[in-house]
Structure 1
Amino acid sequence: MKISKQSAEHYIWGDNCDGWHLVKGQNLSIIHERMPAHTEEVRHYHQHARQFFFVLSGTATMEIDDKVVVLNGQEGIDVLPLVPHQMMNKTNDEIEFVVISQPNSKGDRIIVD
């Protein structure tokens, strides 16, 4: 079945950020996300899910295991289970990216203080 941002299940997260479920299965999740300027996700890790973040547009900052990585459009990064990470938009422009989780990360997130 054909899917697009317009037809996908939409949700709001964090500080007015958007997510669209492109694939929502128990063993695989693919989400298109949008973060407005100067927003961030909470620092967390997943017990089981491996995630791949791929920036579609804009410049994202990812903190992974206390290392900062800047991701420009058309760049991505792999995050293994149990590795603390945090996606941030430190720019004046919105960013859009895709998050692929295997297995699905729902209920698998542990917040890091």
Structure 2
Amino acid sequence: MITSKQNAEHYIWGDQCDGWHLLKQQDLSIIHERMPAHTAETRHSHEKSQQYFFVLEGTATIEIAGESFELKTHEGIHVKPNTPHQMYNRSSGDIQFLVISEPTTRGDRFPA
């Protein structure tokens, strides 16, 4: 089945951020997310899940284990399990990115 933002399960998180479940399985999750300007997610970690963040549009800032990285369009970064991290949009426009998690982060998200 072909999936897109138009037919994927949608949810709102944080401060008016959007997520679309492109693939929602226990062993693998792919989410397309949108963050408006000047928003951030809550710092957290996952015990089991590793994640890969890939920017589709805009410039994102991600803090991983205390180190800050700026990701531009078509750049990505890997986050290993048990690693505190937090995504920010410090820009004046929306950012869009993919979050690929293996296994899913459902039930595996802890404040850091």
When normalised by structure 2's length, the TM-score is 0.99
Shift of 1:58: 0.3
Partner residue, 1:50:
50
Residues 32-57 of structure 1, C-alpha deviations (whole Å, 9 max, x = no match): 00000000000000000000000000
Partner residue, 1:65:
65
Structure 2 residues not aligned, in runs of 5+: none
Shift of 1:107: 1.1
User: How many equivalent residue pairs?
Assistant: 112
Partner residue, 1:21:
21
Q: Cα RMSD over matched residues?
A: 0.3
Does structure 1 residue 108 correspond to structure 2 residue 91? Answer: no
1: distance between equivalents of 2:90 and 2:2?
A: 33
1: distance between equivalents of 2:96 and 2:107?
A: 23
Q: Percent identity?
A: 60
